[in-house]
Structure 1
Amino acid sequence: MANAQSYQCRAPSLIQPASPSKKPASQPRRIKPISGYTLAMSWSPEFCRTRKDNARHKTQCSGDDGSFAFILHGLWPDAQGPSYPQWCRPTRALSPAIVKRNFCMMPTARLMATEWAKHGSCMARRPETYFRISRIMFGAVVFPNMDRLSRKPLTAGQLRQAFVSANEGLAANMIRLKVNRRGWLEEVRICLGQGFRPKRCPSHMQMLGNDSAVKIWRGA
């Protein structure tokens, strides 16, 4: 199991442009003033638990291109209230150079294209800018020892505190956790202000109770 990504992943040698993501008809285009951001980090072992043989998720889950722990799900702009900006404008295909540079952070071209189209297009004019900011924010996070945490009973409060202890300037009320219905960790989300500094999560964002049990899948 990886606690860091970049030295363990191997970007595929033949990378094609990432086809642009189109706005689903069911989702509205929302252009709103940005009040802050969410740094959403997915726990890859849990995501890949049932997807190792799924061709759609091969680069992330098969093990052929690396072994991943946390990956960046996305850097999302927020607005005042629960309605956030999204799909702000149509986007073009991402170049192979962009896909290769960001592969160890987001190990699927489809994920990169979706995050750029849905969220990044509301933050920047160029995908290079969006992914540069994303790399800086993701690279600034110090991850606790997830292997050790996974081997003992754990609560949401304890997991938050592990992140707080590892990251100066971070507080428990700045961290949201997403678990599935069986209690397994899926994502850690850090709330950021307009200047990309951690901030207390807004009250409309649902927070998992500190006493809630959290399980961490280490991988098979």
Structure 2
Amino acid sequence: MSLKSIWILPIAALLATSTAPQPATGQAWQCKAPANLSRPVPEIAKPNEVRRTPVAGYMLALSWSREQCRGRERDPEMAIQCNGNIGDFGFVLHGLWPEAAGPDYPQWCRKASVLSRKIVADNICMTPSVQLLQHEWAKHGTCMARKPETYFGAAKLLFQALTFPDMNRLSRQGEKDGLVTAKVLADAFADNNDGLPANAIRVQTNRKGWLEEVRICLDRKFKPEACPAFAKGAPEKAQIKIWRGG
């Protein structure tokens, strides 16, 4: 299934219903949910953090796991993602976020239930952190869906539809000639995904120029669209470095 073909699926209608399909996990070929997953702890927003601004679009945020895990392979809080026991991750889903017409995106719209172990297990290979799954549901998902199954089902459909560029090649190319820029990476994503324009992509780096995230801007029908001016990202000409791990 391609990203373009996903548009014909009723994702917007799916978010209005109480259930969602459960596609295979994002990296099922190398990842299997552990049997002893814990349940997350509740996350409750402070009153001044609640924002119920109208939804004008969405953003799909993809974290580059190799950079997240660098030096944290033995960090207990990052164990599932970084110790290699359930998989060697490349891109993982940070989250599917509702966006507003300006920078004040909606968040913490309703009190969030604690995710069941089944929901965690169904999505841990896409977002390999028990507590991050809870956080994304509480902060973002409650502004989009009535039930977490629906929210994560929509996120998984979008995540599964992506074809990722050869990050190993891009990493080595950057080391060789130093010519891998934010635009080069955005173009690589666009070239690998029919109908995804490069201007719908924002690249996030840390202060030292290492890739941290790729974010895709979507309209209200979940179709990629040019990112608004307030969407932050590295300048097109900014050189980026991609950590391969090891």
TM-score, L = length of structure 2: 0.85
Does the 8 Å contact 1:143/1:163 carry over to 2? yes
2:217 alignment partner, one of 191, 206, 212: 191
C-alpha RMSD over aligned residues: 1.3
Q: Is the 8 A contact 1:5 1:69 kept in 2?
A: no
AA at the equivalent of 1:180: N
Which digits, 9 at most, give the CA deviation of each residue in 1:69-122, with x for residues without a partner? Answer: 000000000001110000111111101110111111011110100000000000
Using the TM superposition, give the Cα deviation of residue 135 of structure 1 relative to its aligned residue in structure 2, in angstroms.
0.2
2:177 alignment partner in structure 1: none
2:21 equivalent in structure 1: none
Aligned equivalents of 1:172, 1:27: Cα separation in 2: 36
Unaligned runs of 5+ in 2: 1-25, 175-179
Q: How does 1:163-202 map to 2 (within 5 A)?
A: 163-202=189-228
Residues paired across the two proteins, number = 216
| 2:136 counterpart residue number | 115
Equivalent residue, structure 2, for 1:105: 126
DSSP 3-state at the match of 1:151: helix
Cα deviation per residue 1:148-180 (whole Å; 9 max; x = unaligned)? 110012111111110010011111110000000
Q: What CA distance in whole angstroms lies between the structure 2 residues aligned with 1:57 and 1:201?
A: 31
Q: Given the alignment of the two structures, is residue 50 of structure 1 paired with residue 76 of structure 2, yes or no? A: no
Residue 26 of structure 1: CA displacement?
Answer: 8.4
Structure 1 residues 212, 34: CA separation in 2 closer, same or farther (over 3 Å shift)?
same
What is the percentage of aligned positions where both structures have the same residue?
49
Moved over 6 A (4+): none
**Matching residue within 36, 39, 46 for 1:17:** 39
Contact 1:185 1:215 in 2 (8 A): yes
Deviations 1:4-42 (A, max 9, x none): 72211121111233222222x386100111000000000
- Where 1:110 maps in the other structure, the secondary structure is helix
Contact kept, 8 Å, 1:39 with 1:74, in 2: the verdict is yes
